[in-house]
Amino acid sequence: MVYNKELLFEKAAIALREADKLGASQAEVLVSLSEGALTRLANSIIDQNVAERHAQFSIVVYDGKKKGSTSVEVFDKASLQEAVATAVKIAKISPENKDFKSIPGPQPLKPIPFKELVFKKTKDATPEERAEKAMLAIESAHAIDKRIKAVAGAISHGFSERVIVNSLGVEAYAAGTYSNINITVLADDGTEETAGWSADNNRDFSKLHVQTVAEKAARKAADGFGMKNIEPGDYEVILEPAAVAGFMFFMSYFGFSALMYQDYISFIRDKIGEKLFSEKFTMWDDAYDPRIPYRTFFDDEGQPKTQLELVQKGVVKNLAYDTLTAIKDGVTTTGHNARFRGRSLPIASHILVEEGTVSLEEMISETKNGILVTHFHYQNAVNPTKGIFTGLTRDGTWLVKNGEIQFPLRTLRYTDSALRFLRSIDLLGKYSELNDSQFKVPAMKLPSFRITGSQKE
Amino acid sequence: MVNITADSTLPGGLGTFGYDDEGVKAKRVYLIKDGLFVGYQSSRETALLIGLPESSAGMRADSPQKLPLIRMVNINLEPGDWKRDELIAETKKGILMSTNKSWSIDDKRLNFQFGTEIAWEIVNGEIKGLIKNPTYTGITPEFWGSLDGVSKDDWRLWGTPNCGKGQPGQVMYTGHGCSTARFQNVRVGVTKEATAANGVQ
C-alpha cells in the first residue's frame, strides 16, 4: 500500500506558512486525497460505472474574530497560496463572531490501527469485481420469486487519506476505505408493482453481504402484493434497524448538537439530566467501537474523538461539542466537529443504541394493532424545538394485527415528536449482521406512533 | 389554472444558464399547461425515448467530474390573473402561509408535507392573528387540483442553492418562480397531533 502522508503534510505546511505571511492570526488546513468507484444497477443490468479521484484542499483563516475560508481541488504551490490569499481577503471583510476565542491546540490522539481502517481488497477492487457482485445480487434476487421484475441499486467502494493541521500545532493524519451495497428490488404480478430494499456497509469490500442484501430486498418485494391503505391515527409500530437509524440521525443532529442547543433549536434545551425517554432507551456515540462500520479517531478539527453518553436509561446526559461551542459553554470539546452541508458544527455521528434480545418475529407476535416499517424516506424536522419529525414509509410496510402480519400497506406518513414516541419502548431487538446504516441500532417496538397521512393509490 | 414551466432562460435565476451540460441551448418548456400534464423535463436521450422532438435542456452536472443528470432548472408556477390583495379579500376562512422551512415528499412525489416560517389566519377577507409553526400536507394531484387563484402582482423568482440528487450525490442550484396562490380544503396543523396526546407536551 502506498500512502501519501508526507505529501499531504507538505501541502498543508505551504498553506500555514502562507497564512502566517499574510497576517492571519490563526489558520486551520484540511488536505485530502480520495478515490471512489461505483457500479449502478437498473432493470437488472449494470447501467453505469463511474470512478472519481479528488485532491481537496480547504483552509480556514482568522483575522482576530473574523473568519474566511476557501476550498479548492488543486495541489500546486501557487494555487494553494492563491487559495490562502482569498481566504484571508474574505476574513478581512467578514463580520466578527463574538463567540470565537481560538482554534484548538494539539491533544494526544488514540489512533485506530490502519489494518482495521484500510483494506487492500477495497482499495484495489476493480470494475470486474463490482460486476461479479452485481451479478450475484441480480441472480439472488430473481431466484427468490418469479414476480421479481427488476433489481436496482449501487455497489461502491473507495479510499481516502486526510490531514488536518492548524497554526497551534494540531497534526492529524488518517486513512480509510469504505464499501457499500444498496439494493432496491421491484416485483410485478401484472396488477401491482411492489418494492423491497436492503443495504450493507463495510470498510472491507470482500465482506459485503451481497446475497443477504439482495435476498432480503427481494423477499420484501415478493411479500408486498395486495397493498391496502389504513386510516391515519395512533398505531403500535415495529421499526427495523434502518428505520430506527433514520430517527437517530435527526435526534443527534437537532437534539444533541451543542450548536443546536445554544441556538435554542434543540428539543432537549434546558432538559439535560431529565428523564425524557423510556428506561429502555440508552444511546451513546463511540467512534472507536468496532461494531460501527466507519470508525475514526479524530474529528474535523483534528481533536480526539471521545466516547459520549447521550441518553442513559431514558435520562438525557450530554451534548456533542466542538471547540467553538465548548468554549462558549466553558467546557472541553468532545471531538465531534464536522463539516456538514457547508457548516462547521458538532454532530454525534457514530451512534449506538443499546440492543435487546427480542427477535422481529417475537415483536410481531406481541403486536395487537400496529405497523412494521422497513425504513423511512425523506425524513425532516418539522419543529425541532419540540422534537417533531416527519417522514414516509418505503420499500416494505405491513399491518400487524393480533400478532400476525395482515397485509402490506401503501405509503404512510408519520409526523410525531420523539419526546412522545420514545417515551415508551415495548421491546428492543438484537443488532443486525448487516450495517444498513452508519449507526449500530436495534429494531424497536413502540406502543404508540402517529401516522398522519396514508396514500390510497 | 395551473401552468408550470421549466425555464432556464429567466434572467437571474439559480436554474438559468446558456446551454445545459449536453450542449442544448437553454429554453422554456411547459410541464403543465392549463391544468393538463403536457411534458417532462428531458435529456437528448430520454426525449427520443418518450417521443419528444427535442431535449428540454434539463441535463446538469455539479462538476466536470460528474455525469449530467436530468434535474430541475427554474421550475415555475406561472402568474395568474388575481391581485394578491384580492385573493385575501375573497377568502372567507383560510390561512396565509409564508416561506417554507421544512419539506418532505415520498419517492413517488405524491405525499408531501411542508412547514412554514409563519402564517396568519384570514377571516372574512381580513388578516387576523398570527399562527405559529404552521404546516400543510396533501397528495400532489389533489392539492394542485384544488388551486383556485394565482396572483399576478407578486411573482418572484425564488430558488434554492442545495437541491440534492443522484448517487454519487450532486448538489445543484435550482430556481422556483411563483406568486401567492390559493388552494381549497388543504389539511393543516398536523404537528398539534404529534404533541397533544398522553399529556407529554
Indicate if A168 and A258 belong to the same structural domain: no
Considering only alpha carbons, which residue of chain B is nearest residue A379? B104
**pLDDT at residue B193, as a whole number:** 60
Whole-angstrom Cα distance, residue B163 to residue B171? 5
Provide the mean pLDDT of chain B.
92
Give me the mean pLDDT over the A294-309 stretch: 98
Indicate if A295 and A209 belong to the same structural domain: no
* Contact criterion met (CB below 8 Å) for A216 and A224: no
Of B107, B194, B198, Cβ closest to residue A394 = B107
Indicate if A305 and A336 belong to the same structural domain: yes
Would the CB atoms of B197 and A234 count as touching at under 8 Å?
yes
Q: Comparing A25-29, A143-147, B102-106, which segment has the lowest mean pLDDT? A: B102-106
**pLDDT at residue B199, as a whole number:** 31
Confidence of residue B198 (pLDDT cuts 50, 70, 90): very low
Q: How many CB atoms lie within 10 A of CB B55?
A: 23
**pLDDT at residue B12, as a whole number:** 95
Closest CA to A295 of A36, A114, A52: A114
Which residues of chain A have a CB within 8 Å of the CB of B103? 380
Q: How many helices (H) and strands (E) does chain A have?
A: 10, 19
Q: For residue A104, what is its C-alpha cell?
A: 484548538
pLDDT at A17 over 90: yes
Would the CB atoms of B193 and A452 count as touching at under 8 Å?
yes
| A355-365 b/e (C-beta count within 10 Å ≥ 16 → b) | bbebebeebbe
Task: Among A171, A188, A221, identify where a domain stops.
Answer: A221
Indicate if A82 and A138 belong to the same structural domain: yes
A102 touches chain B (CB under 8 A): no
Which residues of chain B have a CB within 8 Å of the CB of A452? 113, 137, 190, 193-194
Domain boundaries, chain B: 4-199
- Our CA-based measurement puts residue A22 at a distance from the nearest CA of chain B, in whole angstroms, of 30
Indicate if A369 and A390 belong to the same structural domain: yes
Confidence of residue B107 (pLDDT cuts 50, 70, 90): confident
Give me the mean pLDDT over the B26-43 stretch: 96
Q: For residue A414, what is its C-alpha cell?
A: 408519520
Task: Among A179, A198, A221, identify where a domain stops.
Answer: A221
* Contact criterion met (CB below 8 Å) for A408 and A380: no
pLDDT at B78 over 70: yes
**pLDDT at residue A114, as a whole number:** 94
Of B110, B167, B191, Cβ closest to residue A382 = B191
Of B113, B191, B200, Cβ closest to residue A413 = B113
Which residues of chain A have a CB within 8 Å of the CB of B117? none
Would the CB atoms of B200 and A417 count as touching at under 8 Å?
yes
Closest CA to A223 of A400, A62, A377: A400
Whole-angstrom Cα distance, residue A131 to residue A45? 10
| Contacting A residues, span 142-201, partner chain B, CB-CB under 8 Å | 154, 156
Would the CB atoms of A452 and B167 count as touching at under 8 Å?
no
Indicate if A209 and A260 belong to the same structural domain: no
pLDDT at A457 over 80: no
At B56-70, the pLDDT tens digits run 999 999 988 888 999
**pLDDT at residue B66, as a whole number:** 87
Provide the mean pLDDT of chain A.
97
pLDDT at B196 over 50: no
A219 touches chain B (CB under 8 A): no
A238: domain range? 226-457
Indicate if A197 and A231 belong to the same structural domain: no
Which residues of chain B have a CB within 8 Å of the CB of A450? 193-194, 197
Q: Please list, in sequence order, all residues whose beta carbon lies within 8 angstroms of the beta carbon of residue A17, skipping any fewer than 6 positions away.
A: none
Q: Comparing A208-212, A327-331, A386-390, B131-135, which segment has the lowest mean pLDDT? A: B131-135
Looking up residue A196, the CATH number of its domain turns out to be 3.30.2290.10
Give me the mean pLDDT over the A161-174 stretch: 98
Identity of the amino acid at A197:
W
A448 touches chain B (CB under 8 A): yes
**pLDDT at residue A455, as a whole number:** 81
Beta partners for B164?
Answer: B171
Confidence of residue A39 (pLDDT cuts 50, 70, 90): very high
Confidence of residue B194 (pLDDT cuts 50, 70, 90): low
Helices A127-144 and A210-222 cross at an angle (nearest 10°) of 30
Would the CB atoms of A419 and B200 count as touching at under 8 Å?
yes
* ipTM of model: 0.87
Indicate if A444 and A370 belong to the same structural domain: yes
**pLDDT at residue B133, as a whole number:** 87
Give me the mean pLDDT over the A290-299 stretch: 97
Which residues of chain B have a CB within 8 Å of the CB of A156? 168
- Our CA-based measurement puts residue A104 at a distance from the nearest CA of chain B, in whole angstroms, of 30
Indicate if A94 and A78 belong to the same structural domain: yes
Mapped onto helix, strand or coil, the DSSP state of residue B190 is helix
Give me the mean pLDDT over the A4-8 stretch: 97
Considering only alpha carbons, which residue of chain B is nearest residue A413? B111
Give me the number of domains chain A comprises.
Answer: 2
Confidence of residue A315 (pLDDT cuts 50, 70, 90): very high
Indicate if A125 and A56 belong to the same structural domain: yes
pLDDT at B192 over 90: no
Which residues of chain B have a CB within 8 Å of the CB of A38? 167-168
Whole-angstrom Cα distance, residue B163 to residue B122? 33
Q: For residue B101, what is its C-alpha cell?
A: 422551512
**pLDDT at residue B201, as a whole number:** 27
At A59-80, the pLDDT tens digits run 999 999 999 999 999 999 999 9
Is-cis flag, bond preceding B11, omega within 30? no
Considering only alpha carbons, which residue of chain B is nearest residue A378? B104
Indicate if A299 and A181 belong to the same structural domain: no
Give me the mean pLDDT over the A179-206 stretch: 98
Would the CB atoms of A388 and B67 count as touching at under 8 Å?
no
Would the CB atoms of B194 and A417 count as touching at under 8 Å?
yes
**pLDDT at residue B189, as a whole number:** 84
Task: Among A166, A186, A221, identify where a domain stops.
Answer: A221
Confidence of residue A241 (pLDDT cuts 50, 70, 90): very high
Interface with chain A: mutation pick from B113, B137, B173, highest number of A CBs within 10 Å: B113
- Our CA-based measurement puts residue B101 at a distance from the nearest CA of chain A, in whole angstroms, of 8
Give me the mean pLDDT over the B18-39 stretch: 96
Confidence of residue B197 (pLDDT cuts 50, 70, 90): very low
Indicate if A194 and A286 belong to the same structural domain: no
Would the CB atoms of A52 and B65 count as touching at under 8 Å?
yes
